[in-house]
Amino acid sequence: MNRARQSGRRAFLCFCCAGLAAAAGGALAASDPAPPFRRTILGTQDYPDGKHVVIQASVEIDPEAVIPRHTHPGIEAAFIVEGGAELSVAGQPVRQVKAGDAFEIPVGAAHGLRNGKQTTKVLVTYVVEKDKPLASPAPS
């Protein structure tokens, strides 16, 4: 397995743990529920500068799930394939996104999502710093 793919998988696990920690007030226990989303890494590629990696992912978010505020060490570009949600990005008005919409999250911008009544499917491309967690919890 190549280093970028390992880094992407490690980042995914870190994000899952971070989401659980935020939802549980920082305490993780074996009985904690699974996160309300599933991220499948579709591919990774080292960015030409040698400092970043491009990660393409498919994300499926459970109905009425809340994704806590978090940040990424790079850019997130997303396309809503199915469903819809309320997207909150620091410094921007809260907005509704729906199937067919695309959005970008600036480097380090705290953001979160409140899903609608159906499963939402999103295709995401991240261009993030290598060897950093894909996502980190952000203050409320």
- Say which amino acid occupies 38: R
Pairing of strands 66-71, 111-115: antiparallel
**What are the tens digits of pLDDT across the range 9-45?**
444 444 444 443 343 334 444 566 788 999 999 999 9
Within 10 angstroms of residue 63's Cβ, the number of other Cβ atoms is 12
- Residue 97 pLDDT exceeds 60: yes
Give the lowest-confidence range in 7-21, 71-85, 117-131.
Answer: 7-21
HSE value, Cβ hemisphere, 13 Å, CA-based, for 95: 12
Q: Domains in the chain, ordered, with CATH? A: 3-137 (2.60.120.10)
Please give the pLDDT value at position 31: 61
pTM score, whole prediction: 0.76
